[in-house]
A = this chain, B = another copy of it.
Amino acid sequence: MSVEITRLANGLTIATETMPTLESAALGIWVKAGARDERPNEHGIAHLLEHMAFKGTSRRTARQIAEEIEDVGGDLNAATSVETTSYYARVLKNDVPLAIDMLTDILVDSRFDEAELEREQQVILQEIGAAEDTPDDIVFDHFQEAAFKNQIIGRPILGTRQTVKSFTPDDLRRYLARHYGPDRMVVAAAGAVSHKAVVEQVAAALGSDATPAPVASEARTPASYVGGEYRQSRELADAQMVLGFEGRAYYARDFYASQVLSLILGGGMSSRLFQEVRERRGLCYAIYAFHWSFSDSGVFGIHAATGEDELAELAPVIIDELIEAANGISEAEVTRARAQMRASLLMSQESPASRAGQIARQLMFNGEVIPNDELIARLDAITAPRLADLAGRLFTGSTPTLAAIGPVSRLPTLDALGSRLDAMPRMKVAAGA
């Protein structure tokens, strides 16, 4: 495995990893701008822009975009997250130049036709409805909103029906000009690709004045984790619950330790929560922990879904497991978590799509691609006592966030759950101060 990286004079980064035995490639353009880079009155525009990128350029209608990539059996797609937006393709070897041509075309020369915009706004209204109808999806929106109350970073990425309908082609152009500068883009490719050929073609397409110059990169409002409760009674078979705390930023000292802790608490069949909640008590079908990082903050949470009666029992059990973690993590658990992270790292690098995404994210967030040896060394440096200490700090260091929808009347209040957290070993908290 070896990643080749080229930085162009305009700030654009291009990285490739050639996987010699493959007949296909995955490639994309990652932009370091997402939903949190919207202005207050732009709610949903980052996601709308991502949709509109497929709706026609000077050289291609929306239909031609769809047909041209599928004519070669390829696939174009895109995704918007809190801090990034990505546009990517999966193609066979010989079609890499076509994919680069299309991805760069839609980024620098999209037309934002009025009629296309109007239809796409309708489509996103249906997408908002679909999210509302999916309980284990929408509960995370409520969680993020409660964790980052009244902040742009806490808003649902899709926007609201009202805001989505309000945007004009000029609104899209303004957001694009403000955020899609070459210095905020990474082109990454993995599989059957040649670095030299990718660099030459991308430079020709994005390295010239055709790229919209960013007016002035707007500084993000720093995220401020708040915490609190959101609860909505809804007629569902299962109640959905997400309980969480302030997590760690990508650049934080505790970033890797937080990832390992989430694995030990609720990362697989052998994790503490799975064993205690599902295997020993039969309380739910699925439970897991997660740690999501942003550039200046993060959230550490646990998701579970279960029936009304089971929920009343389940929530305190989760709190008790958090306290147990602060009381001690075993060496066997740390060894297992390291093995899991190492294996998932190696396996994901055998998939061109996963690998291209990894390379792009590391370049965006760390400015470099971290070699496996170094990643593994960072994991190896994490000890059991440090993880227990981190648990104590994480689970008492912020106001908890609780989001619940469904038959939730028997779920204890956030205050009741919070006071159960008082049993958390206090000396550990001091140690982390």
- Please encode chain A, from 124 to 143, with 1 for each CB lying within 8 Å of some chain B CB and 0 for all others: 11111110111110000000
Shortest Cβ distance from A20 into chain B, in angstroms? 8
Contact A343 B270 (CB under 8 A): no
Contact A285 B237 (CB under 8 A): no
A229 beta carbon closer than 8 Å to chain B: no
- Please encode chain A, from 71 to 110, with 1 for each CB lying within 8 Å of some chain B CB and 0 for all others: 1111110000000000000111000000000000000000
Measured CA separation A133–B281 after assembly (Å):
23
Most chain B CB within 10 A, of A72, A125, A285, is at: A285
Segment among A211-219, A302-310, A386-394 that sits at the interface with chain B: A302-310
| Docked complex: A262-316 residues within 8 A CB-CB of B | 268-270, 274-275, 278-286, 305-307, 310
Residue ID in chain B nearest A192 by CB atoms: B350
Contact A270 B67 (CB under 8 A): yes
Contact A73 B351 (CB under 8 A): no
Give the number of copies in the complex. Answer: 2
Contact B350 A270 (CB under 8 A): no
A66 beta carbon closer than 8 Å to chain B: yes
Measured CA separation A120–B24 after assembly (Å):
42
Residue ID in chain B nearest A407 by CB atoms: B129
Contact A342 B73 (CB under 8 A): yes
Q: Which residues of B contact A275 (CB under 8 A)?
A: 63, 66
Shortest Cβ distance from A384 into chain B, in angstroms? 16
Contact B237 A128 (CB under 8 A): yes
Shortest Cβ distance from A256 into chain B, in angstroms? 16
Q: Which residues of B contact A22 (CB under 8 A)?
A: 350
Which A positions have Cβ atoms within 8 angstroms of B? 19-24, 54, 62-63, 65-67, 69-76, 90-92, 118-130, 132-136, 235-238, 268-270, 274-275, 278-286, 305-307, 310, 335-336, 339-344, 346-347, 350-352, 406
